[in-house]
Amino acid sequence: MATDRETASALKGRDFLTIADFTSEEMNLLLKQALDMKALTKKHIPHPYLNGKTLAMIFEKSSTRTRVAFEVGMYQLGGSALFLSSRDMQLGRGETIADTARVLSRFVDGIMIRTFAHEKVEELAEYASVPVINGLTDTHHPSQVIADLLTIYEHEGRLEGLKACFIGDGYNNMAHSLLEGAAAVGMDLIVASPKGYEPDPLILRNAETRAESNGCRVGFTYSPKEAAEGCDIIITDTWLSMGDEGEKEKRLHDFQGYQVDDALTALAKPDYLFMHCLPAHRGEEVAPDVIDGPHSVVFDEAENRLHAHKAILKCLMENN
């Protein structure tokens, strides 16, 4: 088993595209670093690990938490961040991803991108000579899942042996990254979705294989009640991701019976946690009394985006 020093060395200069790209040791080190970042921040202790470094932030999808967490995170780490929307870049006027990657690599020390197709992030990473961080694609949301796992660990004191469920759209960036994250840290996770919204078969199969090797179980069911039975953590996400707005009426119909409400949470453990990456649509994927109730940790989860993102930035971009 690698030491923390060896693991940290292996992370430097890497891209952060999917959870599946990282070993369990690397995932655990990222979480340790996130806890350290949070402690330093809360104590107002300066921690300029990225002094003089710059992160380019490309946004082709709108954002609240991702932009604020990465921008504030770089500032607190001693560096700076540049906000670049597709409207402000030549990328939005037809410049290739490859050329954008090569040019930005001459100016900055890292690139974060929040976009639609995951293939765009992969191409950017292929041609960039600096670390590329996935701030969200239609298929994966790994930076959010680091914050989610950090939140669960803070409230439960462990990750291994816990049982979680995700209720909603299984072919969703959160469902995919949660499957990969749970498998990496030894936590059970069942995704429950209606027909037509199952997780990507390859992502699910790979996560199941990894989970088995780590002594836990991830899987899929069409029954939200089966998924929620005895859970420590119930997780959901909006039924309407960015780009799905034209399907609103169809999705609202298809997801009937998948709302996280009092009837569903009654099947979980009495001290269950409720999580949602936000923004939330109260009355759709979650009942107001659940998200605003005593079991909800959604704002702890949102705050932890800052500390999780700082951990990712430090691990990938810190000087030797």
Architecture of domain 1-140+304-317: 3-Layer(aba) Sandwich (3.40)
Is 165 known as a binding-site position? no
Sheet with strand 188-192: strands edge to edge = 218-221, 188-192, 163-167, 233-236, 273-276
Distance of alpha carbon 303 from alpha carbon 291, whole angstroms:
16
pLDDT above 70 (res 298): yes
Residue 5 annotated in active site? no
**What would the two tokens of residue 71 be?**
């921008």
Q: What pLDDT band is residue 245 in, cutting at 50, 70 and 90?
A: confident
DSSP helix, strand, coil percent of the chain (3-state; round to 5): 50, 15, 35
- Condensed to tens digits (0 to 9), the pLDDT of residues 148-172 reads 999 999 999 999 999 999 999 999 9
Is 85 known as a binding-site position? no
More confident residue, 102 or 243: 102
Distance of alpha carbon 232 from alpha carbon 271, whole angstroms:
7
pLDDT above 90 (res 87): no
Percent pLDDT > 70 in the chain is 98
Phi and psi torsions of 101, nearest 5°: -65, -45
Query: For the residues 308-319, what does the mean pLDDT come to?
Result: 96
Distance of alpha carbon 259 from alpha carbon 188, whole angstroms:
21
Is 169 known as a binding-site position? no
Is 105 known as a binding-site position? no
Residue 141 annotated in active site? yes
Residue 277 annotated in active site? yes
Out of 33, 76, 144, 259, the active site residue is: 144
Query: For the residues 78-82, what does the mean pLDDT come to?
Result: 98
- Condensed to tens digits (0 to 9), the pLDDT of residues 27-37 reads 999 999 999 99
**What would the two tokens of residue 277 be?**
């990456």
Amino acid at site 140: H
pLDDT above 90 (res 239): yes
Question: Which pLDDT score is estimated for 152?
Answer: 98
pLDDT above 90 (res 140): yes
Ranges of each domain in the chain: 1-140+304-317, 144-301
Query: For the residues 252-281, what does the mean pLDDT come to?
Result: 98
Out of 33, 237, 259, 307, the active site residue is: 237
Out of 14, 118, 141, 176, the active site residue is: 141
Q: What pLDDT band is residue 219 in, cutting at 50, 70 and 90?
A: very high
Is 223 known as a binding-site position? no
Architecture of domain 144-301: 3-Layer(aba) Sandwich (3.40)
Amino acid at site 39: A
Residue 305 annotated in active site? yes
Q: Do domains 1-140+304-317 and 144-301 have the same CATH topology?
A: yes
Contact predicate 101/130, CB 8 Å: no
Phi and psi torsions of 173, nearest 5°: -60, -35
Burial 146-175 (b: 16+ CB within 10 A, else e): bbbbbbbbeeeeebeebbbbbbbbbbbbbb
Query: For the residues 186-203, what does the mean pLDDT come to?
Result: 98
Question: Which pLDDT score is estimated for 91?
Answer: 79
Out of 176, 305, 307, 309, the active site residue is: 305
Distance of alpha carbon 60 from alpha carbon 53, whole angstroms:
23
pLDDT above 70 (res 320): no
Is 277 known as a binding-site position? yes
**What would the two tokens of residue 311 be?**
């951990």
pLDDT above 90 (res 77): yes
